[in-house]
């Protein structure tokens, strides 16, 4: 099949760990590579955010097309809505040329708008993965949410007009049902993990053998719960907490949130046991996971959460909060422990218990690695998604009075 993907802000070529570069970038890159490996022709359309970028870049078996829409500079993703019309127009013209796709898979709601608009003239079926939902963000972030005003309304409407919504976890199904998106519109296919890269065997980052290591990974944003982890650390004597993510190591001092985390660690008298390591290249992530006794993931909310899955694939047990995709990927009491969000005490108890129980850690680790490899390898997930694409590409012929016309 010819598969177009639209990922307006999240380029599969970006370095991860920055404020707007995380799971979606990794997801799109891995999915595109896995589909290409299975013989599909894949083009990923992403916004040109640097004048030096070539129009097309060959990646692992697929192409990345840099779409000129808006200024060629990095912009916060929440500022991109005004450019989605241009994005759609440019992409539609590309399709009218020589490369009409059989299906377009949009990632994130703004890409959904661009996809639906671009697909209008050519009747290409549209599949949408939200990756995150505005309703959830608004609930947790309140006034701090910088999403465009009508995000939730757009998301609701997109859910009804696209050919299929790919949901990533049970929690997302519940949210979408509450928004009025029919269950029949949804196909549940989780995100995946590259099990060639993320596996238990292989080199590890150096560490102090006498000090249990709790690792946490992600963009340095408040909702990832790093403050809760730092507050939990006094109840986990002797352990170190290593935070991977944010700006590169040399630039952490300029990051206000990194400074806030360091100040909190001092305040909690664990300054000498908290280490901010800065961003790591994705190729180095397996080394970091393998160096840890436990991966802690303490988000307040999490649409899916790749880092627990990556850790599991490396044979590392997870202590996580029972939110979003973690409640599907982490099997409580089998591959890790789940605790309520925003509960430093609960986190501390779970971490301490796991770090002092070698038998439990070993058994969680084995079960975690098995689960990741059997249920979440990208090969398996790409096959399931290709089946979804085939269903919509085979079955839909959209007429000119398609409800898609109404979206943008």
* Positions in the binding site for ligand UDP (CB under 6 A): 16-17, 22-24, 26, 217-219, 244-245, 279-280, 282, 285, 304-307, 310
Shortest distance, position 41 Cβ to ligand UDP, whole Å: 25
SS3 277: strand
Tokens 């988000």: give the residue: 299
Shortest distance, position 277 Cβ to ligand UDP, whole Å: 8
Identify which of 113, 68, 25, 37 has the alpha carbon closest to the alpha carbon of residue 408.
Answer: 113
The token pair at 370 is 């098995």
CA distance 141 to 123: 37
Q: Which residue is nearest to ligand UDP (CB)?
A: 22
Shortest distance, position 247 Cβ to ligand UDP, whole Å: 9
Number of other residues whose CB lies within 10 A of the CB of residue 150: 12
Identify which of 187, 203, 192, 190 has the alpha carbon closest to the alpha carbon of residue 33.
Answer: 192
Residue (6 or 26) nearer to ligand UDP, CB? 26
Shortest distance, position 85 Cβ to ligand UDP, whole Å: 26
Residue (30 or 94) nearer to ligand UDP, CB? 30
**Helix/strand/coil (H, E, C) string of 217-233?**
ECCCCHHHCHHHHHHHH
Helix or strand holding residue 190 (H, E): none
Residue (12 or 212) nearer to ligand UDP, CB? 12
Shortest distance, position 91 Cβ to ligand UDP, whole Å: 24
Residue (49 or 310) nearer to ligand UDP, CB? 310
Question: Angle at Cα 170 formed by Cα 101 and Cα 46, nearest 5°?
Answer: 30
Shortest distance, position 24 Cβ to ligand UDP, whole Å: 6
Residue (157 or 282) nearer to ligand UDP, CB? 282
Q: How far is CA 254 from CA 21, 50, 161, 265, in A?
A: 18, 23, 44, 17
Helix or strand holding residue 68 (H, E): none
Q: How far is CA 117 from CA 22, 126, 293, 324, 395, in A?
A: 26, 10, 48, 30, 20
CA distance 90 to 102: 18
Shortest distance, position 22 Cβ to ligand UDP, whole Å: 2
CA distance 131 to 378: 17
DSSP-H helix ranges across 1-150:
23-37, 84-97, 109-119, 134-141
Residue (19 or 331) nearer to ligand UDP, CB? 19
Tokens 């059997």: give the residue: 374
Residue (17 or 346) nearer to ligand UDP, CB? 17
Shortest distance, position 15 Cβ to ligand UDP, whole Å: 8
Question: Angle at Cα 125 formed by Cα 182 and Cα 154, nearest 5°?
Answer: 50
Shortest distance, position 90 Cβ to ligand UDP, whole Å: 26
Residue (159 or 278) nearer to ligand UDP, CB? 278
Residue (32 or 217) nearer to ligand UDP, CB? 217
């Amino acid at each position: 099949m010819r598969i177009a993907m639209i990922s307006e802000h999240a380029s599969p070529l970006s370095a991860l760990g920055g404020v707007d570069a995380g799971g979606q970038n990794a997801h799109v890159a891995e999915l595109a590579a896995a589909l290409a490996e299975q013989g599909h022709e894949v083009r990923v359309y992403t916004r040109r955010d640097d004048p030096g970028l070539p129009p097309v870049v060959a990646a692992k078996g697929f192409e990345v097309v840099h779409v000129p829409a808006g200024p060629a500079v990095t912009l916060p993703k929440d500022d991109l809505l005004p450019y989605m019309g241009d994005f759609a127009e440019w992409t539609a013209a590309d399709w009218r040329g020589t490369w009409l796709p059989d299906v377009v898979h949009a990632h994130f709601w703004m890409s959904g708008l661009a996809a639906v608009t671009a697909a209008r003239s050519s009747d290409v079926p549209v599949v949408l993965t939200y990756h995150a939902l505005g309703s959830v963000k608004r609930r947790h972030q309140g006034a701090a949410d910088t999403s465009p005003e009508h995000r939730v309304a757009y998301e609701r409407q997109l859910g009804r007009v696209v050919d299929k919504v790919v949901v990533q976890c049970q929690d997302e199904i519940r949210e979408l049902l509450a928004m009025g998106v029919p269950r029949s519109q949804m196909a549940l296919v989780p995100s995946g993990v590259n099990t060639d890269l993320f596996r238990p065997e292989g080199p590890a980052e150096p560490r102090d053998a006498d000090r249990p290591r709790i690792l946490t990974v992600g963009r340095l944003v408040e909702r990832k719960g790093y403050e809760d982890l730092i507050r939990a650390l006094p109840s986990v004597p002797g352990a170190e907490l290593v935070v991977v993510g944010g700006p590169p190591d040399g630039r952490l001092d300029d990051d206000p949130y990194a400074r806030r985390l360091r100040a909190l660690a001092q305040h909690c008298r664990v300054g000498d046991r908290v280490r901010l390591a800065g961003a790591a290249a994705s190729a180095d992530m397996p080394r970091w996971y393998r160096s840890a006794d436990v991966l802690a993931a303490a988000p307040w909310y999490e649409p899916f959460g790749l880092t627990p899955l990556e850790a599991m694939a490396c044979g590392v047990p997870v202590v996580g909060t029972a939110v979003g995709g973690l409640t599907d990927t982490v099997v409580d009491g089998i591959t890790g422990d789940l605790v309520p969000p925003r509960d430093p005490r609960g986190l501390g108890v779970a971490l301490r218990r796991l770090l002092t129980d070698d038998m439990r850690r070993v058994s969680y680790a084995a079960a975690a690695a098995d689960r990741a490899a059997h249920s979440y390898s990208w090969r398996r997930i790409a096959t399931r998604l290709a089946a979804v694409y085939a269903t919509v590409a085979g079955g839909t012929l959209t007429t000119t009075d398609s409800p898609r016309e109404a979206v943008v």
